Structure 1
Amino acid sequence: MLALAMRLAGIMGFALMAALIKLASQRGIHLAEIMFWRQFVTLPLIAGWAVYAGGLHLLATKRPKAHLARSLYGIVGMLCNFGAVILLPLAEAQTINFSAPIFAVILSMVLLREQVGVWRWSAVLAGFVGILIIARPGDSDIALDGALVALGGAFMIALISIQIRDLGKTEKPYVIVFWFALTTVVLTAPFLPFTMKAHGWQDWLLLLGIGLSGTWGQLLITMALRYGKVASVIVMDYSAIVWATLLGWLMFANLPPATTFIGAPIVIAAGLVIAWRERVLSQRAFVDQRQATGT
């Protein structure tokens, strides 16, 4: 329950961040600069907390290579997910993100050599049908490039979730967040001289809001993956469609078309079936292990 509550609160933070990113882009702020300030704000927050909690040594790690790999994947994921928010209406961008569990099934088969049965394959196929209904390729107001970028972001979410789950076995959530933020700042800073422009106080307030809400969301969803399994906590991600629709309407006067309301339940149902099946398989493996050890 703690992991579910953390994931739900984290998704709320990310939904607000997405709306602010879209608003910042409409005000002419470049994507590279948005990514830089999104992560730059995180560094003093985490470092300040570490000093208060006992010292900067709390941010040390013995797995720099694992953090570097997570960070590089994370930067690609940020590019895709931020780009999708800019290119698509909030609700559509968020709904396509819901295909992350579908990609998680495929990755578990390819990377972890898991056996995927009829339940999960059926959910994968149904999920992609839902995405096609939403995107309506060839007959849609939704930009095809935006839909493809959003799908790329969903794929990266699935891949990163597996990485974070592995890192979470030895690393604290704030350590994972800190090293990701530091790597992103270092790699995006060289682009600032070519993309940054003068800002008024409204722009700076937007960038600060993006950083704060993103840090809030990232910390909580990372903590959720430490205290709960991916297949269990990812169910809370579907609450994002409510926030995306509400914020899209309030901030951009945009409501999703009927096809989104048809396709979204299919994609969500596919994700829930995958989560349910993962839970069943996990419980079955636990029982088999206890029987094998005689406990």
Structure 2
Amino acid sequence: MKWSDFSKLIKLRLTFLVVFSASISFLIGSKVNGEINWINWVKLIIGGFLVTAAANCFNEIIEKDLDKLMKRTMDRPIPAGRMTTGQALVIGLFMGIMGTYLLGQLNLTTGYLSVFSILLYAFAYTPLKRKSPIAVFVGAIPGALPPLIGYVAAHEKIDGIALILFGIQFIWQFVHFWAIAWVLDDDYKLAGFRLLPSGKRNLTSAIVTFAFAIILVPVSILPTWYGFGGYYVGGVSLICSLLFLYQAFILLRTLEISDAKKLMYGSFIYLPVVQLMFLFDFIGKVK
């Protein structure tokens, strides 16, 4: 099996973003405890990578026939015929079991959350994509679990910081995913996916996307509001959120694919900047 096929099977870039999010939250949780266990950090990264890769693998197995219909997915190893469903299933099960085992070694809550994330993403979100835009709401839950899992891996208690980390990524998911869905709507329709809020690139979908971008503004400054972060993270998060909101407003005004693409790229920048700022500001506050 070629590395290129494996990377497509596990959606390498998506998997990397998920692990990055979890690792940042682990460091935040570690500072709550007062020290960082770097061995556990490595376990989280490896376990998180394997669990996320497994979920993506199961997703591609389930959607193999639909992937043949879309230009952006037809070259994935299963629909392209370079890998059998059985081979992918063995790889996915191995990664899922090993990843869950590693995460479970950190604590049971982390292990349970990782299993829940796989099941919800692969077996609830995936089949819902063809039935209703509600799939995005379902998918936003496993999509926002990585920072919660990372935090709980270091600090087993689900406290206010854990919920805020989850909440920021949960709300961000909607704007992020609807921007992607707007750009790829023609391709998605070839497979029967209904992912935009109204099912179409229209004013209703743009209004809903803009509304969630508005919600993200106050949610993003919750760390400062509740005293977990200082004014630096609050200021940077507010600026990033307002810029993100402006991009959503431009899409609302123009309804153009090019502006949805700018919003999509903005979403890729927004989350790591806000999470890293939370980490640096939190570390400084703890000291």
TM-score bracket, normalised by the shorter chain, equals: 0.3 to 0.5
Give the TM-score, by structure 1 length. 0.31
Higher relative contact order, structure no. (Cα contacts within 8 Å, ≥ 6 residues apart):
1
Give the TM-score, by structure 2 length. 0.32
